[in-house]
Amino acid sequence: MRRNVSRWTALIGLLLAACLPAAAAFAQGGDQAGEGGLSPTLTRIKNAHLVHVGYRESSPPFSFLDEASRPIGYSLELCEAIVEEIAAEVDDPDLKIAYVKVTSDDRIAAVLQNRIDLECGSTTANAERSRLVAFSPLIFVAGTKLMVPKASPVSAATDLKGKTVVVTKGTTNEQAMHNVDKKFALGLNIVTAADHEQSYQMLVDGKVDAFATDDILLYGLIARHKSQDRFRVTGDYLSYEPYGIMFRKGEPELSAVVERAFRKLGSNHDLMPLYEKWFVRRLPTGERLNVPISPQLEEAFRAMDDSPGAND
């Protein structure tokens, strides 16, 4: 256990340190600034009086729809804090939010093509994606696990030999399952669905033997569908997934705004209550996940509270 915490401590340090180059570039002024010293994204937001926020329909408790089909969730509340900081940066107290639906498959393209300014879902911040987009500080730590029927004999990935597994298209879980398949020569039939809800439905319909995605999303889907008597989450972690809010790369001014928003949340001690609202207490849609914060994420939140400038 101590080795796991140490490993995650090192990972968190790397994720937090990844923001330093952006902050340094911001201090030097950068070369992407537009009107009034604003970056292209901030200039576009200022001119439109609008921030385009990408949301997911079925990633509870991060980003999902309430009973009135309105986007809600933990990640969206974090993005609202970022929008408040953007409003201060562009001097527009009446800045509005336009919500744009994205999927796991098109979310990165939506950022790159300027269809959204912030992607507020359940997105893993990894080295491959960081070559294309930028990420906020750590907001959650998850990992790939399996959802199977309660009566299934499957308790680990190695029990899936020759079976069919669904993953959601465009997720890191897809690669994780291919890696496991190759490592243990399982001969898996790995199929994809467009979103987590469709992946879940394939398991409900008996079309697949297991659904592989991040454990917290599996727990969220089981709670939302009140299917605790039908399905269970099982197996060791097949990958580790640090989540972040995604936005455009190469804009140090925008990176600095995102950093400031998180530092303020940390210094105001808002991060722990926000976590408890979405992961421990009953959700607005009625279900309760009751997932206590991990030592790794709690340490990351403390680091934001103690970071330089947190009390500015």
User: Which CATH number belongs to the domain containing residue 164 in this structure?
Assistant: 3.40.190.10
- Higher pLDDT pick, 306 / 40: 40
Total number of domains in the chain: 2
Q: What is the pLDDT of residue 311?
A: 52
Residue 312, domain member (yes or no): no
The residue-averaged pLDDT of 107-131 equals 97
| Chosen domain end from 180, 200, 234 | 234
Collapsing DSSP to helix, strand or coil, 264 comes out as helix
Tokens of 297: 């994420």
Measure the CA–CA gap between 228 and 282, rounded to whole angstroms.
Answer: 16
Nearest to 58 by CA among 213, 206, 207, 233: 213
| Chosen domain end from 234, 253, 271 | 234
Task: Decide if pLDDT at 18 tops 70.
Answer: no
Q: How confident is the model at residue 101 (pLDDT cuts 50, 70, 90)?
A: very high
Q: Which residues contact 302 (CB under 8 A, 6 or more apart)?
A: none
Q: How confident is the model at residue 263 (pLDDT cuts 50, 70, 90)?
A: very high
| Structural domain span for residue 154 | 144-234
Q: Are residues 26 and 118 in the same domain?
A: yes
Tokens of 107: 């979310």
Nearest to 280 by CA among 216, 214, 228, 197: 216
Asked whether the beta carbons of 238 and 167 are under 8 A apart, the reply is: no
Mean pLDDT of the chain: 89
Q: How confident is the model at residue 168 (pLDDT cuts 50, 70, 90)?
A: very high
Tokens of 115: 């269809």
- Which CA distances in Å does 101 have to 41, 54, 106? 19, 6, 10
Q: Are residues 150 and 215 in the same domain?
A: yes
Measure the CA–CA gap between 100 and 19, rounded to whole angstroms.
Answer: 26
User: In the chain, what percentage of residues exceed pLDDT 70?
Assistant: 86
- pTM value is 0.84
Tokens of 189: 């039939």
Task: Decide if pLDDT at 9 tops 90.
Answer: no
Q: What is the pLDDT of residue 23?
A: 38
